[in-house]
C-alpha cells in the first residue's frame, strides 16, 4: 500500500479520534492538521491572549485532506480499502469501520509517525489491543509537538485582535513577526564557533528549565547581545533558535522609529514589547542596537530620545523567566554602544569573521547539494581570507550562474576561483565609488592569491527572508 494511503488513513483516524476524545486539545494535533481546521473569531480566553480555535467535530473532505497531507487525490488513494467511505454530495471521507482501520494502520505505521501525532499516540496507548504495537509515550509526544502558540494561524489571530484600530496599524512597520515554520534556517545549518555553541546551549537550557530558575530566584538571564560585522550570522542564529525551539520570532528594526509616519514613537516601542509578551514564549530580536547610542549622543528630536529611553526601560522590565521572552540585540558597531546599552545584557556573544577552518566548513555545507569536479574547499578558503559566510554564499551563487550561462549544472574548481575574482573585482569597483550604493554595506576585496576582505554586500538583519541576509556562517 502506498504512503499516500497511509497518510490519508492517518488523517481520517486523527479527525475521528480527536472529535470523540474531549480530553484532547489543539496541542495534540500535528501542526499541519491544525492549520486546516483553525478558524478565527473565537471567544477571548480571559487573558486576551488568543482568538479563534478548532471546533469539533472535524470534517475530513477531499480539500482538507489534500491541504493537510499534500496527497493530490485523497479518495483515489484509499478508495480500494474496505473501511473507507465517501459522501458523493459533500465530498466527506469517513471510516466506515474504525476498528479495521486502526488494525490496518497499526500494522503499517512506525514509531516515528505515531510520535509526531500525539492524538494517535494517546489513542493507541489507551487501548490494550495496541499497547505493544508502538514504543511511544503520549506525554513525550505531546511535549515534542509544536505548541499552537507557535502556529501562524494563532499568531495572526492574536495580531488581528491586538491591532484593533487604525492607529495601531502603523506599529506593523516597526515589528515583523514570523512563525517558526516560516524560518528556513536551523542551528544545524550554521557553522558556529565553540563560544557561540556554548552560549546557545546555555540559553537553550535556561529556556527549558525556566521554572526552576524562577524557583531559585535567578531572574537576570535571557538578554543576549550579538556583536560582529555584517554577514557573520547574527540574525540567522537568532532565527535558527526560534525555529529549533518552536518560538515565534519578533523582529524590531530600531531605525524604523525615525520614520516620519510612525507618530508616537515611544508608544510604539512600548507596544512592541507588549506584543512580545502576548506572543510569549517567543524571541524578541532587536537589530541595529547601536542606534540607541547614536540617538542618545546626538541632537535628535526629543521624541526620538524619549523612544530610546522607553526602549531601555522596556528592556529592563522584560524577562525570560517571568515573561517567557528571550531578548536578543544585535549590532554591527559595538564601539558605538555606551554603558547604558551594554549593561542591559547579561551575555555578549561575539560573531567574528570566519577563520580558515570555518570558511572551509561553510564552503562544504553550502556546496553539499552541488556537483563540483575536483572541489578543494581548503584552497577556496585560503584565497577568501576576510570574507564572511554571506560573501562565500554570494561567491557560490556567482559560480552557479556563470556555469548556467554555459548550460552546465556541474561546476569545476576553476569556476569557483573565477567567481572569487569576480566578487573581489566588483567589490573593488564599489570602493572606488564607480557604482552607487550604500557605503555602509561595502566589502573590502583582495586578490585571489591572498585576499583580504570585509563585510558583505547587504546589511545584517534585513527584513527579507533569512537566506537573503546575515548568513555569515550559515550553510
Neighbours of 198 (CB within 10 A): 12
In the numeric block, the cell 557560490 is attached to 396
CATH number of 356-454: 1.10.8.60
* DSSP three-state, residue 224: strand
Task: Kindly report, residue by residue over 307-333, the tens digit of the pLDDT.
Answer: 778 888 899 999 899 899 999 999 998
Buried b (16+ CB within 10 A) or exposed e, 265-276: bbbbbbbbbebb
The CATH-assigned architecture of domain 171-350 is 3-Layer(aba) Sandwich (3.40)
What's the pLDDT at 170? 63
From residue 84, alpha-carbon distances to 88, 99, 136, 177, 370 in Å are 13, 12, 26, 41, 44
Peptide bond into 281 cis (omega under 30): yes
How do 347-350 and 410-412 pair as beta strands?
unpaired
DSSP conformation class of 219: -
Task: Kindly report, residue by residue over 413-430, the tens digit of the pLDDT.
Answer: 999 999 999 998 887 766
What's the pLDDT at 433? 53
Provide the residue ranges of all domains of the chain, joining segments of one domain with +: 3-149, 171-350, 356-454
What's the pLDDT at 278? 87
Spans in the chain with pLDDT lower than 50: 42-50, 260-262, 434-435, 437-472, 474-475
Q: Is the pTM of this model over 0.85?
A: no
Residue 310, all three cell numbers: 522607553
Amino acid at each position: 500500500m502506498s504512503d499516500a494511503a497511509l497518510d490519508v488513513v492517518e488523517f481520517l483516524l486523527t479527525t475521528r479520534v480527536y472529535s470523540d476524545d474531549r480530553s484532547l486539545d489543539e496541542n495534540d494535533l500535528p501542526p499541519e492538521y491544525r492549520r486546516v481546521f483553525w478558524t478565527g473569531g473565537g471567544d477571548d480566553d480571559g487573558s486576551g491572549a488568543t482568538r479563534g480555535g478548532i471546533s469539533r467535530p472535524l470534517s475530513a473532505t477531499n480539500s482538507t485532506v489534500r491541504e493537510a497531507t499534500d496527497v493530490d487525490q485523497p479518495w483515489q488513494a484509499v478508495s480500494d480499502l474496505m473501511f473507507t467511505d465517501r459522501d458523493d454530495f459533500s465530498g466527506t471521507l469517513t471510516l466506515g469501520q474504525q476498528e479495521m482501520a486502526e488494525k490496518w494502520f497499526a500494522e503499517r505505521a512506525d514509531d516515528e509517525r505515531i510520535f509526531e501525532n500525539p492524538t494517535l499516540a494517546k489513542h493507541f496507548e489507551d487501548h490494550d489491543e495496541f499497547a505493544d504495537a508502538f514504543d511511544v509515550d503520549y506525554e513525550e509526544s505531546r511535549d515534542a509537538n509544536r505548541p499552537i502558540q507557535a502556529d501562524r494561524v494563532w499568531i495572526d489571530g492574536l495580531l488581528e485582535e491586538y491591532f484593533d484600530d487604525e492607529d495601531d496599524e502603523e506599529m506593523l512597520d516597526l515589528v515583523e513577526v514570523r512563525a517558526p515554520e516560516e524560518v528556513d534556517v536551523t542551528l544545524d545549518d550554521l557553522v558556529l564557533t565553540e563560544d557561540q555553541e556554548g552560549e546557545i546551549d546555555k540559553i537553550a537550557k535556561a529556556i527549558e528549565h525556566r521554572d526552576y530558575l524562577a524557583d531559585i530566584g535567578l531572574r537576570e538571564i535571557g538578554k543576549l547581545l550579538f556583536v560582529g560585522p555584517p554577514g557573520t550570522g547574527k540574525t540567522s542564529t537568532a532565527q535558527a533558535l526560534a525555529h529549533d525551539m518552536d518560538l515565534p520570532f519578533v523582529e524590531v528594526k530600531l531605525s524604523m522609529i525615525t520614520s516620519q509616519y510612525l507618530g508616537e514613537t515611544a508608544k510604539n516601542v512600548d507596544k512592541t514589547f507588549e506584543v512580545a509578551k502576548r506572543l510569549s514564549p517567543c524571541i524578541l530580536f532587536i537589530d541595529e542596537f547601536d542606534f540607541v547610542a547614536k540617538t542618545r549622543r546626538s541632537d535628535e528630536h526629543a521624541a526620538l530620545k524619549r523612544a530610546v529611553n522607553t526602549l531601555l526601560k522596556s528592556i529592563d522590565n522584560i524577562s525570560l523567566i517571568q515573561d517567557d521572552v528571550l531578548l536578543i540585540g544585535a549590532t554591527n558597531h559595538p564601539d558605538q554602544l555606551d554603558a547604558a546599552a551594554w549593561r542591559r545584557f547579561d551575555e555578549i556573544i561575539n560573531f567574528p569573521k570566519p577563520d580558515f577552518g570555518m570558511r572551509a566548513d561553510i564552503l562544504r555545507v553550502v556546496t553539499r547539494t552541488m556537483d563540483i569536479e575536483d572541489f578543494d574547499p581548503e584552497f577556496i578558503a585560503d584565497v577568501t581570507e576576510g570574507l564572511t559566510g554571506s560573501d562565500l554564499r554570494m561567491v557560490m551563487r556567482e559560480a552557479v550562474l556563470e556555469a548556467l550561462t554555459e548550460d552546465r549544472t556541474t561546476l569545476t574548481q576553476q569556476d569557483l576561483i573565477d567567481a572569487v575574482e569576480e566578487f573581489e573585482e566588483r567589490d573593488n569597483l564599489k570602493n572606488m565609488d564607480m557604482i552607487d550604493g550604500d557605503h555602509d554595506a561595502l566589502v573590502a576585496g583582495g586578490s585571489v592569491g591572498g585576499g583580504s576582505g570585509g563585510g558583505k554586500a547587504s546589511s545584517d538583519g534585513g527584513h527579507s527572508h533569512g537566506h537573503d541576509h546575515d548568513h555569515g556562517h550559515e550553510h
